[in-house]
Every structure is written in structure tokens, then in C-alpha cells.
Structure 1
Amino acid sequence: MTSFIHPEAFIHESSYVDDPVRIGANTKIWHFSHILGNVEIGSNCSFGQNVVVGPDVKVGDDCKVQNNVSLYKGVELEDGVFCGPSCVFTNVNNPRAEIERKSEFLPTIVKKGATIGANATIVCGSVLGEYCFIAAGAVVTKDVKPYALMSGLPAKQMGWMSKAGGRLKDDLICPVDGTEYELQDGYLKERQT
């Protein structure tokens, strides 16, 4: 990879960006953040204060990563992901200070449009489905279905959320934009007209 920082990207003077990286147009990296090597960041992203990304992390377009979040090696954010303040991604399931386990890092994939609330913890090795919604403070220990609303410790499914971010009731109609959904084999999908 060769470094490329789009001329329309903004990096605050208090932040550090290592080589090589790729940063897309209109992406903003705010105070006291650190982007490590071999990181790819798309366009129209926003990284709050004190964010660490990398090494070897991929972030899609239109992502928002709030203050005090670290995206470690193995984390991938697809397009349109929201990471709330101080949410946590782990990278090893059984850490010990006296034992190095960098060869045991597990991947964590956050699919398009997912939301992770403030202070939530995502245990490594999980896939968070498209447009899922992880409540503030939840601890995710396994894969999450698309559109699932997860809450608690450990996180359990409490319902469904629409693409527009509305909590769905039994009629499965989005209260925000009126989109209709349906369940198929335990998975929520937009109803096709």
C-alpha cells in the first residue's frame, strides 16, 4: 500500500498519521487521534477526539467514530457505521499481561449501517449484521443478526430496528419513514413491493 491522503481530508494538527495510509475525501480526524500504518479510511468519515485506528484496519465511507474509541487490528467497519463514545472492541478472548497473544487476534466485522452505542463492548470474533443497533453499555459476545436491537450484559436481542433507526413494533413498519419489513426464517428484511 502507498500512502494517499485526499487533499479534501482534514487532520487536526494535534493528531498523528503514520505511513502507509489511505484517507478519502471529506474525512475529518479531530484532536489527539492516531491513525497507524496500513489503515484504509473511506470518504465522508468523522473521527472524534482521542481515537486510535490500526494498524491493519479498514473503515468504509460515511462512518462516524466518536471520542475515545480504538479500532484495533482485525476490526473492519463497512459503510455507514456509527461507533458511540468510548465503545470498546477487544482483539483477544483470553488476554494476560504476561503472555503475548498478537497471533491470536480475531476479526470483528461491523456490517453496513450498524450502530454501536456509547460504552458498549464488542468481543472479538463477532459479525454485527447490517443496520443492527447495539444499545449503550451492552456487551456483545456473539454474532448479531441484521436489524437486531441488542441490549444487556451479555447482549440479548430485545427487538428490531429499521434502517432509518426506528424501533419496530409488531406491525414491523418503521415509525420514522414508513418502510415495511417482514420476518423470513428469523431474519428481518425490507418488504418487497
Structure 2
Amino acid sequence: MESENIGEGTKIWHFVHVREGARIGRDCIVGKSAYIDLDVEIGDRVKIQNFVSIYKGVKIEDGVFIGPSVTFTNDLYPRADAWGEDMITHTLVKRGASIGANSTVICGVTIGEYAMVGAGSVVTRDVPSFTLVYGNPARIRGRVNKEGLKV
């Protein structure tokens, strides 16, 4: 673990790599084998399950749930020999959102407050607050309340 910006009460499981400059809030749980890249921002009371990859340019607000094996990308045009700070595309996950297992979040999107992304989804565009999306690509399938129940 390279970052020193870990909030009080946060539990980090084994084989987790938290890069320098990453900030993790209070009372979070980071599951085993997760990767949190340079300068990632994670709010308070966030639950990150096992094998999650969060790359530079991602900001996660308070109370977010991220299921096992979720991957966030950060470069729309990845190439092995052309990488730099100007290639990073930012992603925002707003308060209370939930992202199901094995989902992929393509960079540059905002996932709204209390939105729910179904397991296995590929998120390619913004998800409005209190919306249920799933599929490949993820499409709006309904509305949810703060508890994640369909309304």
C-alpha cells in the first residue's frame, strides 16, 4: 500500500494495492485483490468487493456499493506506446449508487445518485439518478428508490 490517505475505520483486505495519491474515506471496506490507482478519490462508507479495478480519473462519492470484479476504464483510446496524463477521461459515481458484479464502466460517464447498475452490464453512457440499468450496453430498465427497490 503506497497511499497514506486512508480514512479512520476503513478496512482493507489482503492483496489490495492502493497507489500513491489515492484517497479513501472513513468506514469503507476494500475487498481482497482490489486495485486502486493513482489519485483515485473514494468517499466515506463505500463498499468495494473483491477483484475490483479502479483506475486514475475515477471519483466515487459516499455510500457507493461496487460489486465483485467491477472494472473502471480511464482511456477511450488505449495504446501500449501512447500514454499520458492528457489521455485520462474522468468518471464520477455519485452518492448511494450500486454497481453489480462483473460490470464494466467505460470512462467519461456519470452514474447518478442511488442509480443501480445490474450485474454484468457495460456502462457506456451517463446513468441518471434513481435509475435501474442493465445489459450490454446498459440501457434504462426502470426507476429505483434509495433502497434500490424498483418503483
**Range of TM-score over shorter length:** over 0.9
Q: Where in structure 2 are there 5+ consecutive unaligned residues?
A: none
Q: Counterparts in 2 of 1:81-96, with a 5 A limit? A: 81-96=64-79
1:121 aligns with 2:132: no
Q: Percent identity?
A: 46
| Equivalent residue for 1:66, pick from 49, 54, 57 | 49
Tell me how large the CA RMSD over aligned residues is: 1.1
CA drift at 1:18: 0.8
CA drift at 1:93: 1.0
Moved more, 87-96 or 151-160: 87-96
CA drift at 1:134: 0.3
1:97 is aligned to 80
CA drift at 1:66: 0.4
Letter in 1 for 2:100: G
CA drift at 1:99: 2.9
Letter in 2 for 1:152: G
Is contact 1:89–1:122 with CA below 8 Å preserved after alignment?
yes
Letter in 2 for 1:71: I
CA drift at 1:96: 2.2
| CA–CA distance in structure 1, aligned partners of residues 67 and 84 of structure 2 | 27
Letter in 1 for 2:103: A
The 3-state SS of whatever aligns with 2:86 is helix
2:138 is aligned to 155
| CA–CA distance in structure 2, aligned partners of residues 96 and 35 of structure 1 | 24
| CA–CA distance in structure 2, aligned partners of residues 26 and 100 of structure 1 | 35
Q: Counterparts in 2 of 1:1-193, with a 5 A limit? A: 17-19=1-3, 21-168=4-151
Larger RCO (CA under 8 A, 6+ residues apart): 2
Letter in 2 for 1:126: V
CA drift at 1:54: 1.9
Letter in 1 for 2:23: E
TM-score, with normalisation over the residues of structure 2? 0.96
Instruction: Indicate the structure (1 or 2) with the bigger Cα radius of gyration.
Output: 1
The 3-state SS of whatever aligns with 2:5 is strand
Alignment deviations for residues 135-154 of structure 1 (CA, whole Å, 9 cap, x no partner): 00111111110011001111
**When the two structures are aligned, how many residues end up with a matched partner?**
151
The 3-state SS of whatever aligns with 1:103 is helix
| CA–CA distance in structure 2, aligned partners of residues 99 and 74 of structure 1 | 17
